[in-house]
Homo-oligomer: A and B are copies of this chain.
Amino acid sequence: MSQLQNLSLTDADQASANAELFDLLRIPSVSADPSHAPDMRRAADFLQAKLASLGFTARVEATAGHPVVYAERLSDPARPTVLIYGHYDVQPEAPLEEWLTPPFEPTVREGRIYARGSTDDKGQAYAHLRGAELLLKSGELPLNVKFLLEGEEEVGSKNLEPYLREHADQLKCDVIVISDGSRFAPDVPTVTYGLRGLSYVEVHVQGANRDLHSGSYGGSAPNPINALCQIISQLKDDQGRITIPGFYDGIDEITQEERDMWAGLPHDDAAFAGSIGAAGLPGEAGYTTLERLWARPTLDVNGIWGGYQGEGSKTVIAAKAGAKISMRLVPGQDPENITRLIQAYIPTLAPDGVKVEVKGLHGGQPVKIDLDNPYVRAAGKALEQVYGKAPAFTRGGGSIPIVAAFRDILKVPVVLVDFGLNEDAPHSPNESFALVDYHNGILTSAYLLQALAQAE
C-alpha cells in the first residue's frame, strides 16, 4: 500500500466548513413531524446543490416518504467504488425548554457546536462532503464516490430498503461507509466492523379465563405471573448461558486476536458500572464485559406485565401475563431460526395449568466483516493518519437494521467510522458536536477515500 497524500485544513477551510454546516443545521428537518415536510425538502435541496457544486451528478429522489439525496462522481470505472451513507433528518427537539440555546440556531460554546442534528447525523455526514471537497482541491477523486443521504433514519428508514432494491444497479459499489455514531472513547479513534442482530418476541401466558380472587382460588388456580417468572428464570442457567436448545450452534467464537485487542482498550469495569449506577455487571461466565457487549448473544426481558400495578394491595390472581423478550445475536445466528427455537422451547418450560403463546415481533441480522478485510484495514490507516495512533477495531452491541439491509441487498462490506462521542447527547436536548471532531472527520474522510482507493 502506497503512502497517503498529506492533507490539512486551513483556517479558511474550517471557517467555510463550519458556515456551511451551520446553514444546514438551521433547517429544522424533523422527519417525525409532518409540518416539517417543506424543511425536509429544503435540507435535501441544500445537499443536492452542494454535491452538484462539487461536480457530482446529484439529484433529489422521491420515495413514499421523505426524499433521498443521491449523488455520484465516477472518476474511473477501473477503480473501486465507495458508497457513503448518511441522513439529513433529525430527532424532534422536545423538550425545548431544556435547550440552553435554540436547537436550530447553531451556537459554539467551549469548542462544541450546539444544535439538533449536529452530531446525528448532519455534522458527521457533511464531514464526508467536505472530505471529498478537500481532495478535489488537488485534482480528481482517487476512486468512484456515491452518496446516499436519506431523510427517514429517525423514523425507522422504512422506505430505504425498497429504494435499495429498486436502485441496486445504480448503487453498485465495493464498500459502504457510514459515520452515524460514537467512537469508543474521546482519545480512541474507532473502526466498527460488526454489529449484533436481534430476535424480539412477545410471550403471553393465560391461566383462568378471568381474573380470580386470590382468597377464593389461591392455592388451586394457575397463576400466569408466577408461571411466566418460572419460564423466564429458566431461559438462562446459573452461568448466565442461554438454555434454548441449539441457541449457540454455529456461532462465530471470539478470536484470540479480538480478545487481545479488546483487552488493551481503556475500559474499567468499576467505572463502567459506576457510569450506569449499577451494583454489578452480571453476564455470561468466561467473557469480559466488552466481549459480552460486542460478540456474545444475550437474552433480556424488555418488558413485563400482569395483574394489579396500582397503589396498595389487590388480592387478584390475574387471568394473563405477558413479557417482551429480546435476544441480541452474533454472526452465525439467524434471527428467524432463533425466533423459531425460542417459540419451540418456551412452551416446554410452562408449568401445569397455563397456556403459552410466543409471538415473533421483529428481527435483525447480525453483521461482521472480516478483520483482515482490506477496506477495514484502510479505514484504520486513515484514522491513524489523522490521530497519530492506531485505532481500535470494535464491534457494536446494537443492531443497525440498514447495515444488514445494505449487506443483504448490495452484498458488500459496511465499515462504520464514527466521528461522534456518547457525550454529544444525540436525541437529547443540547445535542452537540465538537468542532475538532468535525474537522478531524473531514480529514478522516479525505484520507479514507485515498486509503480505500488503494485497498485490495
Contact = CB atoms under 8 A, between A and B. Distances in A.
Contact of A200 (B280, B281, B315, B324): B315
A236 B226 contact: yes
A225 interface: yes
A126 to B, nearest CB: 25
Nearest to A301: B225
A120 to B, nearest CB: 14
B353 A219 contact: no
Contact of A226 (B281, B301, B354): B301
Interface string A352-378: 111100000110000000000000000
Interface stretch (A100-108, A157-165, A206-214): A206-214
B276 A210 contact: yes
A435 B214 CA distance: 30
A299 B281 CA distance: 31
A223 interface: yes
A296 interface: yes
A209 B399 CA distance: 23
Given A208-B276, A222-B281, A354-B279, A313 B217 contact: no
A171 to B, nearest CB: 26
Which of A210, A302, A351, A397 lies at the interface centre, i.e. has the most chain B CB atoms within 10 A of its CB?
A: A302
A314 interface: yes
A387 B8 CA distance: 104
Contacts of A34: none
Given A214-B300, A293-B217, A398-B213, A313 B223 contact: no
B222 A278 contact: yes
Given A304-B307, A313-B200, A398-B213, A292 B219 contact: yes
Contact of A398 (B200, B215, B221, B292): B215
Interface in A311-329: 312-318, 321, 323-324, 326, 328
Interface residues of A, number: 81
B309 A214 contact: no
B276 A217 contact: yes
Contacts of A229: 228-230, 232-233, 301, 304
A192 interface: no
Contacts of A230: 229, 232-233
Given A215-B399, A302-B316, A304-B304, A282 B328 contact: no
B312 A361 contact: yes
Interface in A95-141: none
A296 to B, nearest CB: 6
A361 B276 CA distance: 30
A431 to B, nearest CB: 16
Given A226-B232, A302-B314, A314-B303, A397 B210 contact: no
B302 A313 contact: yes
A307 B324 contact: yes
B233 A397 contact: no
A214 B283 contact: no
Nearest to A328: B218
Contacts of A312: 361-362
Contact of A326 (B209, B214, B309, B354): B214
A332 to B, nearest CB: 16
Contacts of A196: 215
A198 interface: yes
B218 A298 contact: yes
Contact of A280 (B273, B279, B315, B352): B352
A353 B353 CA distance: 33
A277 interface: yes
A388 B161 CA distance: 79
A324 B308 contact: yes
A313 B153 CA distance: 17
A321 B304 CA distance: 8
B326 A303 contact: no
A306 interface: yes
Contacts of A207: 278
